[in-house]
Structure 1
Amino acid sequence: MKFSIILWLLITPLLFSFSTTKSTAEKAPLPDPESFPIPNGIPGLLFYIQRDPNTNTICYELNMNKNGQLEGNDPVHAFWIRYPEGGMRKDLNYIQRKFAYGINVKAVGNEQYELRSVAYSKLPLILRKDAKNNYRVYTDINKKECVLSRVFIRIDGGTFWSPNVLYIELKGTETATGKIVSQRIKPS
């Protein structure tokens, strides 16, 4: 009982300190996602996520062992690029991995893996090799098979544990035509 009270006293201020809700008069215009920096120079980059309220970016790269082979039990490694802090690279913490930006992986055979976001598991992603033998992440965008490159999450207020997500925008390259395709999903 005493531990529960102490834990509550420690966590409660943190929960309220992450609140991003502002009155209508205080709200600044939301930034254009196309103005965010694009990660580059990352070998094995599969896709990345950007979201409000800042340009910090979560990157998902192939997790290779020291022999240059894919780690079959854990094929994807996620990390931050903290652009406001000079582009510093930082691993996700436990809460971020388990509740926000982590990926659940299931081997489906033939060197393919089903990936599901811990925060939005409705969208299946498939990690598999392309015609050039390079791993890519595939998903349907506007009912077309695409190689996923970017996810943008538009957040307008809410709290750390319950952000107000207006939409999730997927962007990728259609496998049949090579055209860039995007789609906005309203989470339910």
Structure 2
Amino acid sequence: MKSILLLAFILVQLVHVSAASPATGFVAAPDSLPVPKNIRHMKFYVQRDPNANTVIYQLNTTPQGKLNEKEPIHVFWIRYAEGGERRELNYVQRRFAYGLQTRKLAQDHYELKFVCYNKLPLYLRKANDGHHYVYTTINQKEAILDSIFVRIKGGTFWVPNVLYVELKGRDAATGKALTGRFKP
């Protein structure tokens, strides 16, 4: 019975995603997509074809303002294509696409990896200014990550054809803007 329910859920997700698939003709230009604003403790965001909906990665704190060590990053949608509604990721999105695997390395230092692509290590660390940032490597430089854009052309729900991934951030040492692309 559980298998049938899971299959039904996946099929509903496939229908929902197909309604906004690249077949609609929408091709996002990374610089034309909305930039999320006024999201407290947003660390970075992810955008991709086929629409302007955006996945937000936000520092997850307790009611006392301390970092939630069990789940230091909270991930959710801003559904710009649906009036800017905020919505939680569903099970499939969290477990197979946009969720993060988190591993504590030390006090205020975590390794983060996407569940769908574990070859891009990210690191959540507390900086000298007392704030947490997500770090990665862009063009062989340590950078504070601001955004990720994923260019998709065709493929399927489970295996999209990713043409490239574009990372945008700031050099951790100088603050200079950095952009880099790679083919996964």
Spell out the pairing of 1:104-143 with structure 2 (5 A cutoff).
104-143=101-140
Tell me the equivalent position of 1:59. 56
CA distance in 1, matches of 2:10, 2:64: 46
Query: Counterpart of 2:65 in structure 1: which amino acid?
Result: G
Distance in 2 between the 1:121 and 1:143 partners?
Answer: 18
Are 2:80 and 1:83 aligned? yes
Q: Sequence identity, in percent?
A: 49
| Unmatched 5+ stretches in structure 1 | none
- Bigger Rg over Cα: 1
1:124 shift after superposition: 0.7
Distance 1:29 1:45, change over 3 A: closer
How far off its partner does 1:28 sit? 4.0
- Aligned match of 1:177: 174
Task: Give how far 1:84 is off.
Answer: 1.6
Q: Distance in 1 between matches of 2:96 and 2:177?
A: 30
SS in 1 for 2:92: helix
Deviations 1:44-71 (A, max 9, x none): 1000000000000000001111111110
Q: Output the aligned Cα RMSD.
A: 2.3
Query: 2-side partners of 1:8 and 1:106: how far apart?
Result: 28
Return the alpha-carbon distance in structure 2 between the equivalents of residues 8 and 149 of structure 1: 34
User: What displacement does 1:30 show?
Assistant: 2.5
Partner SS, residue 81 of structure 2: helix
**TM-score between both structures, scaled by the size of structure 2:** 0.89
Summarize the alignment of residues 22-61 of structure 1 with structure 2, pairs less than 5 Å apart. Answer: 28=25, 30-61=27-58
Residue type at the aligned position of 1:49: V
Q: d(CA) in 2 for partners of 1:75 and 1:127?
A: 8
- Off by >2 Å, runs of 4+ in structure 1: 6-22, 27-31
Verify the 8 A CA contact 1:62 1:70 in the aligned structure 2: yes
- Name 2:151's counterpart in structure 1: 154
Of residues 92, 100, 111 in structure 2, which corresponds to 1:95? 92
The residue type equivalent to 1:185 in the other structure is F
Asked if 2 retains the 8 angstrom alpha-carbon contact of 1:16 and 1:159, the reply is no
TM-score of the two chains, using structure 1 as the length reference: 0.87
Paired positions, count: 181
- Contiguous gaps of at least 5 residues in structure 2: none
Q: Does 1:74 align with 2:71?
A: yes
